[in-house]
Structure 1
Amino acid sequence: MLDRLSFRIGSLFFILLIAVLSFFYLLLYSNLVNDRVGEVFESVLDRGNAHSAVLGDYFNPTTLEHVALMEESANYSVVITDREQQIIEQSNQVSQKMREVISREVSNKQNGSTVFDDWANSTFIATVSPIVHNDKLLGYVYMFADTNYIQGLVQNLQKQFLVIGGISLLITLVIVLLLSRLITLPVRQMKDATTQLREGKEHVPLQVYRRDELGELAKAISGLSTDLTRLKKERNDFLSSISHELRTPLTYVKGYAEIAQRSTISETERAAYLDIIRQEVEALTRMIQQLFDLAKLDSNQFEISRREVLLCDVIKQVVDRVTPAFEANGHKLQINCPGGIEVFIDPDRFNQVMWNVLDNARKYLSDQGTVKVEVIENVEEVCINVQDNGIGIEKEALKHLFTRFYRVEKSRSRKTGGTGLGLAIVKEIIDAHQGTISIESELGEGTFVSIKLPKY
């Protein structure tokens, strides 16, 4: 529970909101208390100013007594002094603390003011209003108000704020819980999706309509699901292909080896069977080498050692290797490569490229077929075009030719069968040379392969 992201996010939001709300509540509470206390002080001061105004016009014993009698029944105490601050009339008993306040020097001789405002720690507050007649100071009116009213007012505000604060706290907690669950819901869905992927489930559904980072993550996981499904299918196809390709030559090797061991066959037959065994072993060797190359490509260990070489020399080496296979089936291989063309390539890897391209062209030639190799030099690149008049390739298959393990010939015949790795490796090698390779084909008309390499 404590380790859940929703709990952590919710706790963080809750703490931040409580801190902000507490700050504003304290600010509001302080302002309200000051305003209400200020209203009480103004009320007391206004009452004292009213008395001083009357006494300024009628400063006589009758009026003094009348003012004192007015305040006896109120919640205030009034003390009237002469200008030397000697008490001449009072409405209630004057305590020692009140006398200390009265004995203080009055700083404002013209207007009323507050002379004691410690309402939180004292039993009263006090104001003083000067009694003036024709600009002559006659005395002072001191008003004393009990602080019980102010303290009750403040306590009432505290209770209200505590109730409102508790309600706000509860509402905030509910909102934070809902928001944290809402925010972390996509994360939990993605976590469940990745768990399903780990368990082998395919096509995990995720809502990817969001445009924020979570939406991008959902799209990435959906893409991963699609890629994993594709890779699983490719792996199964690969294992099926490899098991077939290994089983077929091994079956031939085992069968012909047993026949070759018989004492009843002639030496001519024995030599023919041994030749078949050799061919099958060579096929196995090529397949294993392709698998090694593929493993190096996946681990970024496929080394490219480029240097300046004569392109025609590299192509001629490959042509010399494949020519016997062409002639054995009555096919022709024509090459047109102007001398002196230099390119910056890895000759061994490019030899592998040309061998795969020419060998593929030979396998799909019809009777009396021809393959033409033409090299064209431009200003910044060299084009190697390979054209055949073979059976061609379907348009649907063209876009998959460079996909690993993809095979145009699904029958895996001994004549044209392969692992589907050759052209994938060719594409990787060309890409490593910063070049391009493209294939165009029409059924019944042949195939055109174009390889473009930068000169420098």
Structure 2
Amino acid sequence: MKKLSTRIWAIIVAFLAITILFMYVLTNFLYEGLYVKDVENSMVEIGGKLSTMYDGGKVTDDFINKINQYNSYSNVNVFAVRNPRELSACVPFDIDYDTLIGSDERAQLLEGKTITKKGYEKRFDRQVISAIIPLTDQNRLEGIIYIYFPLAKITEMASKEVFILLGSALIFIFLIGFGVYKGIKHIMKPLKELQNAAEKMSVGDYETRVEVNSKDEIGHLAQTFNKMAASIQQEDEAQKKFLTTVSHELRTPISYVKGYGEALEHGYIEESQRQQTLALIVREANRLEKLTNELLQLSRAVDQQDSKTLYPLPLAETIREVVHITQQQMHQKAITLRTDIDEEIIISADEEKIQQILINLIENALRYSEEKTEMILSAKKEGDFAVITVQDHGIGIPKEDLPHIAERFYRVNKARSRSDGGSGLGLSIVDQLVKYHKGNWQIDSELGKGTTVKIQIPLIGEF
């Protein structure tokens, strides 16, 4: 697998290669488009001006001498001849006369047009550009002015400056390379730290964090990683605490069932106490069943937080069914239930889960209410929500315990045993199921006077 730094270097090298290619193309374009074209235009201009010295008729020796004299103060080579073959005595290289002035070229010359040509000349080891200017009289080609110039190479044009440019380029490349190396190293440092931290987390070290030194994308990534690590650490600690608590909660009833079961099996229990012992075993078994059922309910409530299996539900009918289910428990403690239900309330809900919320709240209220007291259950519309209220006249909850009541296995009265109190999961289940319905809830309580729980569930069409 390629490292990120290798990929960055590959991108930089690719861009440098593209830049060099572009500069090469640009240099050749400038050479051909500016230098060569400028030389060609200059030669044509010189030839045109010299041709004005021709007065017509035969090309005289005097005219040829005048043209040849131009060579002494010009950077181009100029010759006037009557016949192209005479050029062999003037130029220091061989000329293919048939190619130089063919039938097409002759026709152009007769029309008074100038001909330019370019080709490699071995003698000069470079390209040679030439111009042929016609000397015509009465549609007769009396002679030509031949101009040629050996073109300078690109490397020669720079002369000494090319070494300065090359040296500067090498220094520039070195500085750029060093800067890129330092830049990549600086960029990769926090990413390397993130990689090391992620590897530590993968083996269970959830306390690891990375230092945030920038506000760019990598800095935001580091911040997100730290938040994720904190969340995972918190969840891990909560899970460990939960498992420890569950183990503790299960150990007591299991110990009772196991201990008394073995005592019965080996005949250690007298006949007069056997029935009492069996009742205790059944009670602890029921506690185990209730606890495991509540753990399963809590697990399902957490797992289904993002579920959307909600449908229109007439709330009044659901409340009546819950009242019927809990009626026997109310009768045992002589609790009077007063209801105030709006029959027109329809919510978006899962009926089974709404029943579970209400049963947990009513059973919790019954468990901590004094005998022969009153409980109030109401449901009303408030804005876009249905507000369900369960009010009891029980022992109440201390203010310092209210922020913790939704925590799993939290005990308000640490002295109460699980046999005469709840499992500590009821309100945790309520909390998760209310969140499942995109609602909210609150609890108010006063010691010795009672507790009021309010649940807000969105009305139909209010999600």
TM range (shorter): 0.7 to 0.9
Report the counterpart of residue 27 of structure 1 in structure 2. 26
CA distance in 1, matches of 2:301, 2:376: 28
Change (3 A) 1:201 1:94: closer
Please, which moves more after superposition, 29-38 or 193-202?
Answer: 29-38
Q: Residue type of the partner of 1:313?
A: R
Please, which moves more after superposition, 235-244 or 355-364?
Answer: 355-364
Question: Residue 64 in 1 paired to residue 64 in 2?
Answer: yes
8 Å CA contact 1:126–1:143 kept in 2: the answer is yes
8 Å CA contact 1:71–1:91 kept in 2: the answer is no
Question: Residue 322 in 1 paired to residue 322 in 2?
Answer: no
CA distance in 1, matches of 2:78, 2:343: 122
Say which of 153, 156, 164 aligns to 1:153: 156
8 Å CA contact 1:294–1:425 kept in 2: the answer is yes
Shift in Å, 1:141: 1.9
Q: Output aligned runs, 1:16-415, within 5 Å.
A: 16-49=15-48, 51-53=50-52, 61-62=61-62, 64-68=64-68, 71=71, 76-82=76-82, 87=86, 91-92=90-91, 95-97=94-96, 100-101=99-100, 104-105=105-106, 107=108, 113-119=114-120, 124-129=128-133, 139-147=143-151, 149-150=152-153, 153=156, 174=178, 177-178=181-182, 180-199=184-203, 200-207=205-212, 210=215, 212=217, 214-257=218-261, 265=270, 267=272, 269-300=273-304, 310-323=317-330, 326=333, 332-337=335-340, 348-365=352-369, 370=373, 372-378=375-381, 382-394=386-398, 397-403=401-407, 405=408, 407-409=410-412, 411=414, 413-415=416-418
Please, which moves more after superposition, 166-175 or 246-255?
Answer: 166-175
Percent of aligned positions that are identical: 21
Change (3 A) 1:450 1:247: same
Say which of 412, 430, 433 aligns to 1:426: 430
Change (3 A) 1:372 1:13: farther
8 Å CA contact 2:304–2:436 kept in 1: the answer is no
> Unaligned 5+ residue runs, structure 2?
none
Please, which moves more after superposition, 275-284 or 436-445?
Answer: 436-445
Q: Residue type of the partner of 2:246?
A: I
Q: Residue type of the partner of 1:311?
A: T
> Could you list the per-position Cα deviations for residues 153-211 of structure 1 after superposition, in whole angstroms to 9, with x for gaps in the alignment?
36969977877776676666555555555555444333222212112231523528535
CA distance in 2, matches of 1:448, 1:337: 15
> Could you list the per-position Cα deviations for residues 202-240 of structure 1 after superposition, in whole angstroms to 9, with x for gaps in the alignment?
15235285354x555444322221211111111121122
The Cα RMSD (Å) is 4.7
Q: Residue type of the partner of 2:252?
A: T
> Could you list the per-position Cα deviations for residues 269-314 of structure 1 after superposition, in whole angstroms to 9, with x for gaps in the alignment?
4433332322222111111112222333454499979766723432
8 Å CA contact 1:372–1:386 kept in 2: the answer is yes
Q: Residue type of the partner of 1:202?
A: E
CA distance in 2, matches of 1:203, 1:412: 39
8 Å CA contact 1:369–1:389 kept in 2: the answer is no
Change (3 A) 1:89 1:387: closer
Change (3 A) 1:39 1:152: farther
8 Å CA contact 2:393–2:451 kept in 1: the answer is yes
CA distance in 2, matches of 1:421, 1:272: 29
> Could you list the per-position Cα deviations for residues 78-111 of structure 1 after superposition, in whole angstroms to 9, with x for gaps in the alignment?
32134x7685996456743367525642736798
8 Å CA contact 2:70–2:78 kept in 1: the answer is no
CA distance in 2, matches of 1:339, 1:65: 125
CA distance in 1, matches of 2:161, 2:107: 35
CA distance in 1, matches of 2:292, 2:281: 17
Please, which moves more after superposition, 394-403 or 291-300?
Answer: 394-403
8 Å CA contact 2:193–2:210 kept in 1: the answer is no
Q: Residue type of the partner of 1:79?
A: F
8 Å CA contact 1:385–1:450 kept in 2: the answer is yes
Change (3 A) 1:338 1:171: closer
8 Å CA contact 1:407–1:418 kept in 2: the answer is no
CA distance in 2, matches of 1:395, 1:110: 114
TM-score under structure 2 length normalisation? 0.75
8 Å CA contact 2:326–2:363 kept in 1: the answer is no
8 Å CA contact 1:14–1:172 kept in 2: the answer is no
> Could you list the per-position Cα deviations for residues 304-362 of structure 1 after superposition, in whole angstroms to 9, with x for gaps in the alignment?
797667234323234324326645xxxx4533255967867655544432332133334
Shift in Å, 1:425: 1.9
| 2:148 aligned counterpart, secondary structure | strand
CA distance in 2, matches of 1:101, 1:228: 87
Shift in Å, 1:37: 2.6
CA distance in 2, matches of 1:49, 1:299: 95
> Could you list the per-position Cα deviations for residues 357-390 of structure 1 after superposition, in whole angstroms to 9, with x for gaps in the alignment?
133334445x668452222344976543112344
CA distance in 2, matches of 1:31, 1:85: 33
Change (3 A) 1:69 1:350: closer
Shift in Å, 1:126: 1.4
CA distance in 2, matches of 1:111, 1:185: 74
Change (3 A) 1:224 1:396: farther
8 Å CA contact 2:406–2:427 kept in 1: the answer is yes
Report the counterpart of residue 15 of structure 1 in structure 2. 14
Shift in Å, 1:409: 3.1
Change (3 A) 1:19 1:234: same
Please, which moves more after superposition, 257-266 or 379-388?
Answer: 257-266
TM-score under structure 1 length normalisation? 0.76
Change (3 A) 1:108 1:158: farther
Change (3 A) 1:120 1:153: farther
CA distance in 2, matches of 1:382, 1:249: 40
